[in-house]
Amino acid sequence: MSMPVIVPGTSTKCQAVTDIMTSVALEQTALSHILNAQGEGIQQVVPQIKTSDELVMLNESTESLVNAISKLELLLEYKLNLFKDCTCQECQNA
């Protein structure tokens, strides 16, 4: 997946709102890729686990990752909610 090109310059309020919403979508996509990679990693590791301590360590690591992603998702939700009442005509047509 290629990185988006962000060109500084003057833009309308509606374009700025659209850009922020696009950034939220890109961040959510990145987080989903991280969760998917964690799931694939778990599938590779679980067959090799020999002790309950190893399983607990894997669980704690996964729980930590999920908690961090949950916090980031709350921030993204807050970011989107800043614009829920946007009255810009372009934003309403998007």
pLDDT in tens, 38-56: 999 999 999 999 999 999 9
SS3 assignment, position 2: coil
Asked if 34 and 69 touch (Cβ cutoff 8 Å), the reply is yes
> What pLDDT, on a 0 to 100 scale, did the predictor assign at position 79?
92
> What pLDDT, on a 0 to 100 scale, did the predictor assign at position 11?
74
- What are the sequence ranges of the domains in the chain? 48-82
> What pLDDT, on a 0 to 100 scale, did the predictor assign at position 3?
72
Question: What are 17's two structure tokens?
Answer: 């709102």
CA end-to-end distance (rounded Å), the chain: 23
Ranges under pLDDT 70 in the chain? 1, 6, 8-10, 89-94
